[in-house]
């Protein structure tokens, strides 16, 4: 496949109006509503911004027995089942975003951005045991300068080599190549590209090699994830417009369909909604919110995760998971919704 660079990129200009005594609350376009069908217990850190990002391990033999890993930025990593029940806890303060990487030999890794050193972006690597639903520390990897923040997994090759992308707060995007040699995990990091201001959300599409980065106050960038580049190799494909996207842009997730189709979802944190775009052209589809029902609503969502495959009787059409940043009177937690219900609410499935 021939990969051609983008020619030019869009710039978002933000107009600053004269300041008033109060700052108006911005609400984007109307959003359809769905409700959560499960939730996790509150994370252990109360009265703080602690829960952040979920990741999904899909059990290929029994999808209903899949596992969720979620971060508590102040404490460590939780493992949950599809009912939301906590299975285990792994103490590791300072972790932010988390990804699950399943290797061809059956090894399952939970890899998190590590903010324990605010001057240096790092990756915290743990092994997930699907049988016991527990995590064990493997190693910590130095990526490069900047405070670690967003991460996402890249290509996983047949030989067991794989890639992870890091998006530290300084805007430099790194690609880290990793492979086990015996019990040792060998790593090599290099800068891939950059965005002008603070990013976090990150998702990679292995079908097209496209990497999507959420710049919190600007919008969603697309760049090729398989080679280094500069401004000519990035494009602002979904700027904050206070209609579909309201700052901050936080978590990103994709639901792939076919060779390059499906959906990209972004947390429009500024008005407690989620924006949906159609791949590959990022055409707007609509917006949704998780409203109160059997379980509470979600607000101020940081990380999201999405998998549109079958996850058994509770999630036959896929699962969407959102961090809930406002969960009174308890601490923050994670809420699960059915992806097929979201698509139906958006009019994408009859």
Q: What's 202's domain CATH number?
A: 2.120.10.30
Would you state the pLDDT for residue 23?
46
Would you state the pLDDT for residue 232?
87
Would you state the pLDDT for residue 26?
86
In a domain, 4, yes or no: no
Residue 344 tokens, joined: 């139906």
Would you state the pLDDT for residue 37?
98
| 43 to 70, 112, 256, 295, 296: CA distances (angstroms) | 9, 17, 30, 16, 15
Reported pTM: 0.92
Would you state the pLDDT for residue 182?
94
In a domain, 6, yes or no: no
Query: How many structural domains comprise the chain?
Result: 1
In a domain, 255, yes or no: yes
In a domain, 112, yes or no: yes
Kindly give the parts of the chain with pLDDT less than 70: 1-24, 350
In a domain, 27, yes or no: no
SS (H, E, C) the chain: CCCCCCCCCCCCCCCCCCCCCCCCCCCCCCCEEEECCEECCCCCCCCCCCEEEEEEECCCCCHHHCEEEEEECCCEEEEECCCCCEEEEEECCCEEEEEEEECCCCCEEEEEEECCCCCEEEEEEEEEECCCCEEEEEEEEEEEECCCCEEEEEEECCCCCEEEEEECCCCEEEEEEEEEECCEEEEEEEEEEECCCCEEEEEEECCCCEEEEEECCCEEEEEECCCCCCHHHEEEEEECCCCCCCCCEEEEEEEEECCCEEEEEEEEHHHCEEEEEEECCCEEEEEEEEECCCCCCCCCCCCEEEECCCCCCCCCCCEEEEEECCCCCCCCEEEEEEHHHHHHHCCCCC
In a domain, 316, yes or no: yes
Domain housing 105? 32-345
In a domain, 1, yes or no: no
Would you state the pLDDT for residue 349?
77
Residue 21 tokens, joined: 């005594």
In a domain, 136, yes or no: yes
């Amino acid at each position: 496949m021939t990969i051609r660079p983008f020619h030019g990129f869009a710039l978002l200009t933000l107009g600053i109006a004269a300041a008033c005594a109060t700052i108006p609350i911005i609400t984007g376009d109307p959003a359809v509503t769905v409700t959560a069908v499960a939730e996790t217990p509150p994370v252990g850190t109360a009265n703080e911004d602690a829960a952040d990002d979920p990741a999904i391990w899909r059990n290929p033999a029994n999808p209903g027995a899949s596992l969720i890993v979620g971060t508590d930025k102040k404490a460590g990593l939780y493992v949950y089942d599809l009912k939301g029940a906590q299975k285990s806890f792994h103490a590791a303060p300072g972790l932010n975003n988390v990804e699950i990487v399943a290797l061809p030999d059956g090894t399952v890794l939970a890899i998190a951005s590590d903010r324990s050193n605010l001057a240096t972006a790092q990756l915290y690597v743990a092994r997930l045991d699907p049988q016991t639903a527990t995590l064990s520390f493997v190693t910590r990897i130095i990526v490069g300068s900047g405070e670690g923040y967003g991460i996402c997994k890249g290509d996983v090759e047949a030989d067991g080599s794989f890639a992870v992308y890091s998006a530290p707060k300084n805007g430099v995007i790194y690609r880290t190549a990793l492979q086990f040699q015996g019990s040792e995990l060998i790593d090599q990091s290099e800068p891939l590209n950059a965005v002008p201001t603070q990013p976090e959300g990150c998702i990679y599409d292995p079908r097209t090699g496209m990497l999507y980065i959420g710049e919190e106050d600007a919008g969603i960038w697309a760049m090729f994830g398989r080679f280094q580049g500069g401004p000519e190799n990035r494009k602002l494909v979904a700027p904050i417009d206070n209609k579909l996207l309201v700052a901050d842009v936080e978590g990103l997730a994709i639901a792939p369909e076919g060779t390059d189709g499906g959906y990209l979802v972004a947390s429009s944190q500024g008005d407690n909604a989620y924006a949906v775009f159609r791949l590959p052209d990022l055409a707007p589809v609509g917006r949704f919110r998780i409203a109160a029902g059997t379980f509470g609503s979600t607000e101020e969502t940081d990380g999201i995760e999405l998998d549109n495959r079958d996850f058994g009787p509770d999630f036959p059409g896929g699962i969407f998971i959102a961090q809930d940043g406002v969960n009174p009177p308890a601490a923050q937690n994670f809420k699960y919704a059915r992806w097929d219900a979201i698509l139906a609410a958006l009019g994408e499935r009859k």
